[in-house]
């Protein structure tokens, strides 16, 4: 039996409740009201509603914790040392086009240290979660990163910019959170991307670390311009060499 913290339990329940709206709206995708937020970056009423549910649920027992969210931004409460980091739908473009590859991402940061992370894929019913020094899990099954040592045998993921950069076996899935969860679970061997947001990668970074992988130190970057590189320990040096000019 896995022992989880009270905070992670709250995160799981919040994600499960919010996912009901995602599943409902995904089934009626043509009826969604969509507004343009920026180049290749859309926001739907589902994003906003899911974020609202997550904030409400996480605040029920942790009333003073602060928030950093994709849609609302920074919400400063009395407790500024503990912050929920939320992406209500990571992979919104996939969601809008009826592609079933997106996830809810929630992380808890305390004094700039990630304590808990959760990535929930509601369509596949896959709940990835991790806590600092307690390991990473998928639906209660312990996760470990890939043990492959040859880059030729590995599979990597990035955005369009990353795919064009180097000669590796690449995929572009449209969800950074799930890419990192897949690195943690050994489905992917590495993930890298420049100028990405903290709410896209916070939970996933903890997952990779707790599954035995390596993530570069991204604290030196602005929260919405993070350069992240994550992989299994077995191929990290080789991947970083390939990406030294990225």
Per residue in 82-98, pLDDT tens? 999 999 999 999 998 89
Pick from 228, 219, 235: nearest CA to 200: 228
Q: Write the pLDDT tens digit of every residue in 202-246.
A: 999 999 999 999 999 887 778 889 999 999 999 999 999 999 999
Distance of CA 22 to the CA centre of its chain: 16
Q: How many CA atoms lie within 13 A of 177 on its CB side?
A: 31
Q: For domain 6-142, give the CATH superfamily.
A: Fructose-1,6-Bisphosphatase, subunit A, domain 1 (3.30.540.10)
For residue 149, what pLDDT is reported? 96
Domain residue ranges in the chain: 6-142, 151-242
- Choose the CATH number for 151-242 among 4.10.490.10, 1.10.10.60, 3.40.190.80, 3.30.565.10: 3.40.190.80
| CB distance 108 to 114 below 8 Å | yes
Are the C-beta atoms of 122 and 23 separated by less than 8 Å?
yes
Cα 47 to Cα 92: distance, rounded to the nearest angstrom: 8
Length of the chain in residues, anyone?
A: 246
Task: Return the sign of the alpha-carbon dihedral for residues 117, 210, 178, 12.
Answer: negative
Question: Residue 41: what pLDDT?
Answer: 64
The CA–CA distances, whole Å, from 60 to 53, 55, 82, 109, 153 equal 11, 9, 15, 18, 47
Beta strands in 94-144 (DSSP E): 103-110, 113-121, 126-131, 135-138, 141-142
Q: Which residues are catalytic?
A: 70, 87, 89-90, 92, 200
Question: Which is it for strands 65-69 and 79-90: parallel, antiparallel or unpaired?
Answer: parallel
Helix pair 198-210, 176-185: axis angle to 10 deg: 0
Residue 81, phi then psi, degrees to nearest 5: -85, -25
What confidence score (pLDDT) does residue 218 get? Answer: 83
Say which residue the tokens 């959760």 belong to.
Answer: 118
pLDDT value of position 40: 55
One pLDDT digit (tens) per residue for the chain, 246 residues: 688 999 999 999 999 999 999 999 998 886 776 776 665 566 788 999 999 999 999 999 889 999 999 888 998 988 889 999 999 999 999 998 899 999 999 999 999 899 999 999 999 999 999 999 999 999 989 999 999 999 999 999 999 999 988 889 999 999 999 999 999 999 999 999 999 999 999 999 999 999 999 999 887 778 889 999 999 999 999 999 999 999
Q: What share of the chain is helix, strand, coil (3-state, %, to 5)?
A: 35, 30, 35
What pLDDT shows up at residue 3? Answer: 86
pTM reported for the whole predicted model:
0.95
Which pLDDT does position 42 carry in this prediction? 67
Asked, colleague to colleague, whether 6-142 and 151-242 share their fold, the answer is no
Query: What pLDDT score does 1 carry?
Result: 63
Q: What pLDDT shows up at residue 7?
A: 95
The 10 Å CB-count burial string (b at 16+, else e) for 94-109 is bbbeebeebbbbbbbb
Q: How many CB atoms lie within 10 A of CB 171?
A: 14
pLDDT for res 142 = 97
């Amino acid at each position: 039996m896995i022992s989880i913290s009270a905070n992670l339990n709250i995160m799981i329940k919040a994600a499960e409740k919010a996912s009901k709206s995602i599943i409902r709206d995904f089934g009626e995708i043509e009826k969604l009201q969509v507004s343009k937020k920026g180049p290749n970056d859309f926001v739907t009423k589902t994003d906003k509603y899911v974020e609202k549910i997550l904030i409400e649920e996480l605040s029920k027992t942790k009333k003073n914790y602060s928030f950093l969210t994709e849609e609302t931004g920074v919400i400063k409460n009395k407790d500024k040392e503990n912050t929920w980091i939320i992406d209500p739908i990571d992979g919104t473009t996939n969601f809008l086009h009826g592609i079933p590859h997106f996830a809810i991402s929630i992380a808890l940061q305390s004094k700039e240290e990630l304590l808990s992370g959760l990535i929930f894929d509601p369509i596949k019913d896959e709940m990835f979660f991790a806590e600092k020094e307690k390991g990473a899990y998928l639906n209660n099954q312990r996760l470990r990163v890939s043990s492959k040592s040859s880059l030729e045998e590995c599979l990597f993921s990035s955005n369009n910019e990353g795919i064009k950069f180097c000669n590796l076996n690449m995929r572009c899935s449209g969800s950074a959170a799930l890419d990192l969860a897949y690195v943690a679970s050994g489905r992917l061997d590495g993930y890298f991307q420049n100028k990405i947001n903290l709410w896209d990668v916070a939970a996933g970074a903890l997952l990779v670390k707790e599954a035995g992988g390596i993530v570069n130190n991204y604290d030196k970057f602005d929260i919405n311009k993070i350069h992240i590189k994550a992989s299994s320990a077995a191929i990290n040096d080789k991947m970083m060499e390939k990406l030294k000019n990225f």
